[in-house]
């Protein structure tokens, strides 16, 4: 599968740029003994991504400000679509690196779409949407039905010098060395999740504790942490919502789900390519195994699922807008593409037989990444409930 | 709680089967099973006495000895010393289950009216629910012993299997391993047509007093720690039809351990390469007759696949139990996750699948002789179900599912191997068909 085919006229140069970046910068991560690649290289890879403009930045002078992944060009469906394709291309080689670029772009997008102009936006940002077991701001987006809770638990109270935040956020993906977190809170006067607010919290803020999450299955090239906020003071200019918080949450959730979908589809596409290459050179029973009916069946199903994932992803990206129906479409896309991608990866791994289970061939890493993408940012049960509620018009 | 809510709860309680059945007549009450009993206990009581005893012993052993080691054995497999748990299992009789009392530790009733695999399978599920790696570490030993028994060659059994079991009972356990896979031939050697085309290199050359073996085997479970290996080689100048089983012993000149694989899961048991460089094997170490290896190997798989299915089932049960615990302890919207109907439906679906897998596994080794179709079907069904259930368990737990501290993800990693080893599930599907297809005509199920 050649993802370039999905790019339109004028987008190909970005695709080629991304491919060159992956070839030159990401590929050398692999080849050693470490199952997730040489993770010590990740900071320099991300530095390079900023330099070439693949990583979005909320700073207007930076190369990725406009055309980086989820840069300001994502104001229109074409930009969303292109960012999704670029994410997939990176994820074909390493889903963890793609996750770094995705969450950076997501946070940049929230900042750049805010009506508040930050005097000096931070370079590396992460979005803190999730609380406890609840998927991204689900509670904030849900109306009266379903599993409505007491609202977003993290609260921001107005103070003389700005805002004071207390609460916790969980499962925050972000680059190592993140400068600041975008924390979605319920503001005091609107407590109950009716109108959440988004505040920028510097990583070194007093009262903010960034907790290591411990060992995990996959997407290890991207940082993951919990946040504990205790009376964290935030300057007034770091309140980014200006009455638009609700659409900010919606936009962030949409792009998050699309990004996860794009990474999952890219990861699966990479697995399929690897399986095809292996099947073409591995001899068993007098022929290459690509001639074996069982292998052909695995490859065909894997390919069908990867194609279906991209078809749905790109179709949804083409509908990009700020309304509730787009949110519903993104939820469906996340639910289905991560599922198809997971199945495609496990079928591709099966083609390798015993070798697929060993770290040397990289397939087990793809499977580990695929299950994380399937379960993060809203498990299957939540997505089903969300889609059901959205279909009944209960999602705002 | 408001009065109307209390009234509603009282109404619900009155309708619960255990309360409603109080209104039945005496004989009606006798026919209702309202005993407060876990599914595990219900299933255990289905078993014949011997297997029932081993199931209880295995669960206790797994909780007492395997559970404390599970995380360490998974995260630091190279530093994990397997000998203590092997010795402990041997002392408890778990390593001698392929023979019935008094020669082994299996109970005769379950052994002769079920099969030699039945009690091993029952134990395997319990071990695997705690740790896939440690379960494999202990179960691969039975696989290594199986060719000695299934050769049916009395001198082999007297010469090798019985002394091995006797030493184990005396507290000097030896670990056995089973070696068929070669770098160029994996699942091929587990299926007829594949076998006919397989490119096998390990070859035995007859010399005075025995054989000299050259070649390599790969992915051998417990290969690095095994004291003895039942290893299959073709005879020089002949094809797979000449396959013969040899007992290779640690310390034989020319025999060495090569690469040890880094695996996704089941890490406590090594998967190693065995290198044979002019290894001289005495005649007494030929297992069974010359050229009986292919038939022996195929029959070993008939007996081992239900056990692999049981291990897969154990992984899934372990992951299910961890998800269940999570759902009981996690609040969402003021309610426990388990109180939501959609979660209940997911959990019920997982339970149904676990149950069906167990039924098929127990069925597949419920006759004195295990047969190919049923064994392969049990392995395929249980391993596919296992991976599906483990995946669902992680999904239900959301982001918590992929945290190592929650325990489900390691079982998920463990379960994926069961779709690959003992023949990939694709090869096993062919085995399901082959056994019936070739010999019989007409309907397969209605006689």
When CB atoms are compared, the residue of A214, A364, A385 closest to B264 is A364
Q: What is the distance, to the nearest Å, from the Cα of residue B69 to the centroid of all Cα atoms in its chain?
A: 19
Task: Output the average pLDDT for chain A.
Answer: 87
SS3 B259: strand
DSSP secondary structure code for residue B164 in this structure = H
Residue B190 · residue B240 · CB < 8 Å: no
Regarding whether A47 and A35 lie in a shared domain, the answer is yes
Residue A207 · residue A200 · CB < 8 Å: no
pLDDT of residue A141: 55
Which of A122, A43, A137, A104 is closest to A259 using CA atoms? A104
A267 within some domain:
yes
Residue B128 · residue B311 · CB < 8 Å: yes
B443 touches chain A (CB under 8 A): no
pLDDT of residue A157: 86
Q: CB-based contacts of B169: which residues, under 8 Å, 6+ apart?
A: B90, B93, B96, B105
pLDDT of residue A136: 53
A187 within some domain:
yes
Which of A37, A137, A25, A22 is closest to A87 using CA atoms? A22
pLDDT of residue B439: 60
A120 within some domain:
no
A363 within some domain:
yes
Question: Are B264 and A359 an interchain contact pair (Cβ–Cβ within 8 Å)?
Answer: yes
For residue A180, is the peptide bond before it cis, meaning its omega torsion is within 30 degrees of 0? no
A288 has pLDDT over 50: yes
SS3 B375: helix
Regarding whether A225 and A160 lie in a shared domain, the answer is yes
Q: CB-based contacts of A177: which residues, under 8 Å, 6+ apart?
A: A43, A124
Question: Are A133 and B398 an interchain contact pair (Cβ–Cβ within 8 Å)?
Answer: yes
Of A112, A147, A171, the domain-final residue: A112
CATH of the domain at A168: 2.40.110.10
SS3 B198: coil
A105 has pLDDT over 50: yes
SS3 B282: strand
SS3 B314: helix
A321 has pLDDT over 90: no
pLDDT of residue A301: 97
Question: Are B264 and A357 an interchain contact pair (Cβ–Cβ within 8 Å)?
Answer: yes
Chain B, 371 to 410: residues with Cβ < 8 Å from chain A are 387, 391-392, 394-405, 409
Residue of B400, B402, B418 to mutate for A, most A C-beta atoms under 10 A: B402
pLDDT of residue B121: 97
Regarding whether A286 and A332 lie in a shared domain, the answer is yes
Regarding whether A376 and A252 lie in a shared domain, the answer is yes
Question: Are B399 and A147 an interchain contact pair (Cβ–Cβ within 8 Å)?
Answer: no
Q: What is the pLDDT of residues A29-77, one digit of tens each?
A: 998 889 999 999 999 999 999 999 999 999 888 888 888 999 988 888 8
pLDDT of residue A145: 36
A310 within some domain:
yes
| Stretch among A63-77, A144-158, A289-303 having the lowest mean pLDDT | A144-158
Average pLDDT of the segment spanning A325-335: 92
Chain B residue at shortest CA distance from A380: B395
Which of A166, A56, A172, A162 is closest to A111 using CA atoms? A56
Architecture of domain B39-175: Orthogonal Bundle (1.10)
Residue A79 · residue A69 · CB < 8 Å: no
Of A80, A112, A144, the domain-final residue: A112
Distance CA A242, CA A244 (A): 5
Regarding whether A146 and A108 lie in a shared domain, the answer is no
Please give, one letter per residue, the 3-state secondary structure of chain A.
CCHHHHCCCCCHHHHHHHHHHHHHHHHHHCCCCCCCCCHHHHHHHHHHHHHHCCECCCCCCCCHHHHCECCHHHHCHHHHHHHHHHHHHHHHHCHHHHHHHHHHHHHHHHHHCCCCCCCCCCCCEEEECCECCECCCHHHHECCCCCCCCCCCCEEEEECCEEEEEEEEEEEEECCCCCEEEEEEEEHHHCCCCCEEEEEEECCCCCEEEEECCCECCCCCCEEEEEEEEEEEECHHHECCCCCHHHHHHHHHHHHHHHHHHHHHHHHHHHHHHHHHHHHHCEECCEEHHHCHHHHHHHHHHHHHHHHHHHHHHHHHCCCCCCHHHHHHHHHHHHHHHHHHHHHHHHHHHHCHHHHHEHHHCHHHHHHHHHHHHHCCCCHHHHHHHHHHHHCCCEC
Which of B177, B63, B396, B437 is closest to A378 using CA atoms? B396
B341 touches chain A (CB under 8 A): no
Q: What is the pLDDT along chain B (447 residues), one digit of tens a residue?
A: 667 777 888 888 888 888 888 899 999 988 998 888 899 999 999 999 999 999 999 999 999 999 999 999 999 999 999 999 999 999 999 999 999 999 999 999 888 888 899 999 999 999 999 999 999 999 999 999 999 999 999 999 999 999 999 999 888 899 999 999 988 766 666 666 666 666 788 999 999 999 999 999 999 999 999 999 999 999 999 988 999 999 999 999 999 999 999 999 999 999 999 999 999 999 999 999 999 999 999 999 999 999 999 999 999 999 999 999 999 998 887 789 999 999 999 999 999 999 999 999 999 999 899 999 999 999 999 999 999 999 999 999 999 999 999 999 999 999 999 999 999 999 999 999 887 766 666 676 666
User: Could you count the other beta carbons within 10 Å of the beta carbon of residue A303?
Assistant: 19
Residue B399 · residue A173 · CB < 8 Å: no
Residue A169: left (phi > 0), alpha (psi -120 to 50), or beta?
beta
pLDDT of residue B332: 80
A119 within some domain:
no
Distance CA B443, CA B123 (A): 35
pLDDT of residue B191: 63
A191 has pLDDT over 60: no
CATH of the domain at A297: 1.20.140.10
Of A189, A223, A244, the domain-final residue: A244
Q: CB-based contacts of B130: which residues, under 8 Å, 6+ apart?
A: B62, B63, B66, B67, B70, B314, B318
ipTM score here? 0.93
Chain B residue at shortest CA distance from A372: B402
Chain B residue at shortest CA distance from A218: B402
Residue A389 pLDDT grade (very low, low, confident, very high; cuts 50, 70, 90) = confident
Question: Are B332 and A170 an interchain contact pair (Cβ–Cβ within 8 Å)?
Answer: no
A319 has pLDDT over 70: yes
Q: Token digits for B46?
A: 């289905």
B368 touches chain A (CB under 8 A): no
Q: Token digits for A378?
A: 């809203």
As beta bridge partners, residue A142 has A395
Q: How many CA atoms, within 13 angstroms, populate the side-chain half-sphere of residue A29?
A: 27
Residue A130 · residue A174 · CB < 8 Å: no
Q: Write the burial class of residue A95 (CB in 10 Å: 0-12 exposed, 13-18 middle, 19+ buried).
A: buried
Task: Give me the total of CB pairs closer than 8 Å, taking one residue from chain A and one from chain B.
Answer: 143
Domain count, chain A: 3
Question: Are B400 and A133 an interchain contact pair (Cβ–Cβ within 8 Å)?
Answer: yes
Q: What is the pLDDT of residues A231-282, one digit of tens each?
A: 999 988 888 875 566 677 788 889 999 999 999 999 999 999 999 999 999 9
When CB atoms are compared, the residue of B330, B333, B427 closest to A148 is B333
Distance CA A125, CA A106 (A): 9
Q: CB-based contacts of B285: which residues, under 8 Å, 6+ apart?
A: B160, B210, B246, B247, B248, B249
Architecture of domain B177-292: Beta Barrel (2.40)
A322 within some domain:
yes
Regarding whether A386 and A303 lie in a shared domain, the answer is yes
As beta bridge partners, residue B215 has B276
Q: CB-based contacts of B34: which residues, under 8 Å, 6+ apart?
A: B17, B18, B21
Whose tokens are 């994820």? That residue is: A91
Regarding whether A173 and A284 lie in a shared domain, the answer is no
* DSSP H or E stretch at residue B299: helix B293-329
Q: Token digits for A326?
A: 């787009």
Gap between the terminal Cα atoms of chain A: 37
pLDDT of residue A206: 93
How close is the nearest chain A Cα to the Cα of B43, in Å?
30
When CB atoms are compared, the residue of B187, B263, B426 closest to A357 is B263
A87: containing domain: 3-112
Q: Token digits for A125?
A: 């940002």
Distance CA B287, CA B284 (A): 8
* DSSP H or E stretch at residue B216: strand B210-221
Beta-sheet pairing, B176-179 with B228-235 = parallel
Average pLDDT of the segment spanning A218-235: 94
Q: Write the burial class of residue B48 (CB in 10 Å: 0-12 exposed, 13-18 middle, 19+ buried).
A: middle
Fold (CATH) for B295-437: Butyryl-CoA Dehydrogenase, subunit A; domain 3 (1.20.140)
Burial profile B250-286: b = 16 or more Cβ within 10 angstroms, e = fewer? eebeebebeeebbbbbbbbbbbbbbbbeebebeeebb
Q: CB-based contacts of A366: which residues, under 8 Å, 6+ apart?
A: A95, A267, A268, A270, A271, A274, A345, A348, A349
Residue of B396, B399, B421 to mutate for A, most A C-beta atoms under 10 A: B399
Which of A89, A87, A113 is closest to A100 using CA atoms? A87
Residue A161: left (phi > 0), alpha (psi -120 to 50), or beta?
alpha
Q: Name the residue ranges covered by the structural domains of chain B.
A: 39-175, 177-292, 295-437
As beta bridge partners, residue A183 has A128, A199
SS3 B286: strand
Q: Token digits for A90?
A: 């990176």
A188 has pLDDT over 80: no
Regarding whether A324 and A234 lie in a shared domain, the answer is no
Residue A133 pLDDT grade (very low, low, confident, very high; cuts 50, 70, 90) = low
């Amino acid at each position: 599968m050649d993802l370039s085919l999905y790019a339109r006229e004028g987008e190909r140069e970005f695709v080629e740029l991304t491919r060159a970046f992956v070839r030159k910068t990401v590929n050398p991560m692999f080849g050693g003994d470490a199952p997730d690649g040489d993770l010590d290289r990740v900071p320099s890879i991300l530095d390079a991504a900023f330099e070439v403009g693949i990583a979005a930045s909320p700073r207007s002078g930076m190369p990725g400000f406009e055309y980086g992944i989820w840069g300001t060009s994502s104001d229109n469906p074409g930009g969303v679509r292109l960012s999704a394709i670029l994410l997939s291309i990176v994820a074909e080689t390493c889903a963890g690196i793609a996750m770094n670029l995705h969450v950076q772009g997501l946070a940049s997008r929230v900042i750049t779409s805010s009506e508040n102009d930050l005097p000096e936006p931070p370079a590396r940002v992460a979005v803190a949407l999730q609380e406890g077991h609840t998927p991204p701001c689900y509670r904030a987006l849900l109306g009266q039905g379903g599993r409505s809770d007491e609202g977003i638990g993290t609260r921001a109270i107005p103070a003389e010098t700005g805002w004071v935040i207390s609460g916790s956020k969980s499962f925050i993906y972000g680059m190592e060395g993140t400068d600041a977190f975008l924390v979605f809170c319920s503001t005091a006067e609107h407590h109950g999740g009716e109108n959440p607010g988004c505040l920028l919290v510097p990583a070194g803020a007093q009262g903010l504790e960034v907790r290591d999450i411990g060992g995990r299955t996959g997407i290890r090239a991207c940082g993951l942490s919990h946040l504990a906020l205790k009376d964290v003071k935030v300057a007034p200019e770091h309140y980014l919502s200006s009455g638009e918080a609700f659409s900010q949450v919606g936009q962030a959730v949409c792009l998050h789900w699309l990004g996860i979908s794009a990474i999952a589809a890219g990861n699966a596409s990479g697995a399929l390519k690897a399986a095809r290459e292996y099947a073409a050179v591995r001899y068993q029973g007098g022929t290459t195994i690509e001639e074996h009916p069982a292998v052909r069946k695995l490859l065909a199903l894997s390919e069908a699922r990867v194609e279906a994932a991209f078809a749905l992803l790109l179709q949804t990206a083409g509908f990009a807008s700020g309304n509730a129906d787009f949110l519903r479409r993104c939820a469906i896309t996340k639910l289905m593409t991560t599922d198809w991608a997971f199945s495609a990866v496990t079928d591709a791994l099966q083609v390798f037989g015993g070798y697929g289970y060993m770290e040397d061939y990289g397939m087990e890493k793809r499977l580990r990444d695929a299950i994380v993408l399937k379960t993060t940012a809203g498990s299957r049960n939540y997505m089903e409930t969300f889609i059901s509620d959205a279909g009944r018009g209960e999602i705002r | 709680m408001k009065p109307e809510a209390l009234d509603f709860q009282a109404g619900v309680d009155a309708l619960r089967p255990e309360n409603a059945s109080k209104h039945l007549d005496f004989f009606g009450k006798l026919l209702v099973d309202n005993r407060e009993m876990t599914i595990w206990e219900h299933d255990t009581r289905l078993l014949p006495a011997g297997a029932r005893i081993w199931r209880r012993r295995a669960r206790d052993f797994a909780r007492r000895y395997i559970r404390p080691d599970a995380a360490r054995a998974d995260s630091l497999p190279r530093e994990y010393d397997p000998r203590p748990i092997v010795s402990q299992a041997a002392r408890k009789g778990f390593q001698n289950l392929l023979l019935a009392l008094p020669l082994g530790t299996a109970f005769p009733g379950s052994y002769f009216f079920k099969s030699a695999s039945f009690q091993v399978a029952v134990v395997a599920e319990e071990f695997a629910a705690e740790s896939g790696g440690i379960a494999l570490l202990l179960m691969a030993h039975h696989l290594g012993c199986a060719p000695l028994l299934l050769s049916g060659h009395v001198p082999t059994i007297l010469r090798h299997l019985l002394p091995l079991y006797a030493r184990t009972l005396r507290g000097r356990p030896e670990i056995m391993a089973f070696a068929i896979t070669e770098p160029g031939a994996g699942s091929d050697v587990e299926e007829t047509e594949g076998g006919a085309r397989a490119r096998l290199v390990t070859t035995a050359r007859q010399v005075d007093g025995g054989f000299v073996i050259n070649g390599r085997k790969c992915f051998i479970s417990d290969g690095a720690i095994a004291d003895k290996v039942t290893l299959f080689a073709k005879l020089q100048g002949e094809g797979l039809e000449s396959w013969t089983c040899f007992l290779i012993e640690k310390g034989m000149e020319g025999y060495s351990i090569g690469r040890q694989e880094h695996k996704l899961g089941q890490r406590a048991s090594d998967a190693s390469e065995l290198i044979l460089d002019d290894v001289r094997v005495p005649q007494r170490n030929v297992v069974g007759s010359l050229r009986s290896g292919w038939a022996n190997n195929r029959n070993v798989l008939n007996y081992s696949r239900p056990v692999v299915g049981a291990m897969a089932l154990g992984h899934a049960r372990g992951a299910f139990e961890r998800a269940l615990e999570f759902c009981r302890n996690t609040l969402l919207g003021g309610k426990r996750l388990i109180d939501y109907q959609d979660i209940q439906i997911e959990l019920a679906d997982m339970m149904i699948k676990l149950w069906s897998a167990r039924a098929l596994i127990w069925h597949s080794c419920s006759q004195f002789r295990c047969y190919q179709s049923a064994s392969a079907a049990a392995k395929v069904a249980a391993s596919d179900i296992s991976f599906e259930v483990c995946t669902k368990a992680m999904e239900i737990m959301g982001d918590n599912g992929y945290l190592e501290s929650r325990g489900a993800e390691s079982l998920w990693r463990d379960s994926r191997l069961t779709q690959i080893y003992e023949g990939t599930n694709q090869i096993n599907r062919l085995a399901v068909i082959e056994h019936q297809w070739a010999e019989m005509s007409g309907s397969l199920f209605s006689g």
